[in-house]
Structure 1
């Protein structure tokens, strides 16, 4: 149930009309009410429409229409950017990948939001950080995410905590059983950037500073991360087929019993249990000397600067990120919610046993840099790593790490 907006706050929203044009790039203001459109990636679990129907029944004059964009994040971003650059009012509420916040804010495509409207103190703090840029709140956390290590409990007695243990166990399993060892997302796209970034973090390093203004990549730690992946592919406990894997291919390979270990997001848990039953275990990603660090994922909700109904859009976001809906995000959509208390709910833990591990992974996860040029940075990282881990491995890890650092510095220097 929505909490009433305080009268003073409502007046502040209306008064913000004149100022929003400068910061948000539009001249429509925050006072507009009326029907809105919610643009987001394709709903593959069909859980969204019932939530929208509940809003529409209570707000007949401010109905929300779901506009599904492509499933692939790159295609979603391309369509949103084209719309926002044209200053079209077709989109009101935007479902943004957490790495887009800085870019969309910097370009004036979304408006800053009033922190007091949302119970941010009850959200996971790492999730809130993804919605903040230059000390302003530009979106509201809707889902969060962290990479996990899936493993076969019937083949592995104790899950690995380090890369050395993962290597040893993967090699032992592949020798004893007709199954491959370990795979992540190793195709040259954002998923490879994430996997490499996690490896660097799990070796004690960092690629770019959190504010996106400085390359912090230590070539030695980057080489260590690359060598971990190179070694697995050379020795065969990482199958070469995984060089073509995105999230879906990794999920299918694990749940079909072709992998003993897999790095994936929490959405892969339900299908894996459905196929493998009690043979599925989940733990934190391993690291160089102990548990590793995931890269934070998820989605935030923002208001288009060109929306004509920005007040309704903000009220809808308050409703959609409320506690009741966030519970449904998990139970009906299988996405990690942003409310901290849901991870400690005994009933939910019985249904989703991985929640305590996921909470620990999210709180230990690192944000990708809040940079308006993140897309360029990611392309450089993915293409560089792809060179290093592709057979016949003619690119040395040291050379690739040094070259990557130079290219990243050039992008940040000219941003």
Structure 2
């Protein structure tokens, strides 16, 4: 009996159809994934290789689709011409050569389906390999709340263990320089723990990879991030759209009081006699202190959305009468003292307050747990908002532009900033949460005061040149403190020029 007169059995035909469809579907899916994973033009050979492979798979899929329809029609109905008959004859001969064609085709189809699934399942579809987080400080302590979260991740994702690239420097300017060096040279980090003030710089200079908002995992579903906190993960200058990080923890100034201490109604009621007043140093702490003093005196310098308040001709920062009054009061507080004392301001303030030398202290939320140790007593401690707006601080988790594991890096970021993770950070580590969920379910007695303080907090100037701006701002403030509140004549112009990206002569 000729091949022409031996029709293919229906199960055999169905298996052949499946065998023809599977590679087309897989080529389309894998090719699309590789192409879509590339943001713009690649920066290295690996990126180009992925892009070319993805494009080749899509070309193959497009070509295969042109003949797939014809093959399916031939296999699922009687042949109508010589070409279709010859095609079926070839399949018959191949089947006899292989012996049991149905089993062979079934096996091939199963392998085609199982192979990619087996590759994806162990790592939940994430690129395999270690994920490196560059942090400003050493996160290796076993009791560290952040380390606890990483250990949870490592247990659930053995194919993507996390390692911290820590640093000994606690000074923000040194932390910043180290991360910029890594970002410029395509170094080791997949994820950065970025202070909120450095977000504009890293976004505008192309150091970061944006968050894929369309592919957010269920960890990020039902976002309840506080609005002003999540805004720090966007380009607040409005130049680059999208979400460039997720907020890991926020930060805000709080007022700590021993029970019985008079509740201050203004900056003047607490700051001159507070624990931090004698230890103002020429670091970012000075920028924070000066801005809060200015806002407490109803001045601005920087408005609610982080933009500098400029003179009508935009040539200088507007130092109005309220700002000048704030600088005069700061100078009065530090009269006869050296504001550039090299001590750790926050640690020194904590010691003075804990030892009862002062009844009031302005400090960050993490100070609460440190006061749980003798001789301080939490039973006699009250925590409230400042009587004016505080500077908004905090740290965001952002993907390095150079990471070769973007899906894994984003999944890690979403896990570390999930509602349950935020609750752990607050309850175990004392970090101010970024989500409403953590405030609702936390047990800390000052959680409501803290959430309200965060929502009322104000950003520092939004500029890609913040490091230089803050340095120049501190120099001018120190000058004013030593000169009864009078600042250098060109100080407002210098700040406006630096913030805009220009240079200013000394």
What range describes the TM-score normalised by the shorter chain of this pair?
0.7 to 0.9
Partner Cα distance (2:478, 2:460) in 1: 19
* CA offsets 1:68-113 (integer angstroms, 9 cap, x no match): 223512222222111111122x100111111111111111111111
- Contact 1:124–1:340 (CA<8 Å) still a contact in 2? yes
Shift of 1:184: 7.4
- Contact 1:273–1:280 (CA<8 Å) still a contact in 2? no
RMSD, aligned CA: 3.1
2:322 is the counterpart of 1:221: yes
Which secondary structure does the structure 2 equivalent of 1:407 belong to? helix
* CA offsets 1:299-336 (integer angstroms, 9 cap, x no match): 10000001111110001111111111111111221111
Match of 1:176 in 2: none
In the superposition, relative to structure 1, how do residues 414 and 78 fare at CA in structure 2: closer, same or farther (>3 Å)? closer
Q: Which moved more, 1:218-227 or 1:352-361?
A: 218-227
Which secondary structure does the structure 1 equivalent of 2:373 belong to? helix
- Contact 1:36–1:62 (CA<8 Å) still a contact in 2? yes
Partner Cα distance (2:43, 2:435) in 1: 29
Which structure 1 residue ranges, 5 or more long, are not aligned? 1-8, 171-179, 286-290
In the superposition, relative to structure 1, how do residues 39 and 182 fare at CA in structure 2: closer, same or farther (>3 Å)? closer
Shift of 1:60: 1.5
Which secondary structure does the structure 2 equivalent of 1:326 belong to? helix
- Contact 2:480–2:486 (CA<8 Å) still a contact in 1? no
Shift of 1:280: 2.1
1:190-201, aligned counterparts within 5 Å? 190-201=284-295
Partner Cα distance (2:226, 2:31) in 1: 29
Which secondary structure does the structure 2 equivalent of 1:130 belong to? helix
**TM-score scaled by length of structure 1:** 0.81
Which secondary structure does the structure 2 equivalent of 1:188 belong to? coil
**TM-score scaled by length of structure 2:** 0.67
Q: What count of residue pairs does the alignment treat as equivalent? A: 377
Match of 1:160 in 2: 264
Partner Cα distance (1:63, 1:211) in 2: 37
Which secondary structure does the structure 1 equivalent of 2:257 belong to? strand
Partner Cα distance (2:251, 2:270) in 1: 23
Structure index of larger Rg: 2
Match of 1:340 in 2: 436
Shift of 1:165: 3.0
Match of 2:473 in 1: 381
Partner Cα distance (1:22, 1:131) in 2: 24
Q: Which moved more, 1:70-79 or 1:363-372?
A: 70-79
Larger fraction in strand: 1
1:32-111, aligned counterparts within 5 Å? 32-40=127-135, 41-43=137-139, 46-72=144-170, 73-88=172-187, 90-111=188-209
Match of 2:451 in 1: 359
- Contact 2:149–2:421 (CA<8 Å) still a contact in 1? yes
2:246 is the counterpart of 1:140: yes
Which structure 2 residue ranges, 5 or more long, are not aligned? 1-28, 52-125, 311-316
- Contact 2:279–2:339 (CA<8 Å) still a contact in 1? no
Match of 2:333 in 1: 232
2:492 is the counterpart of 1:405: yes
Partner Cα distance (1:379, 1:113) in 2: 31
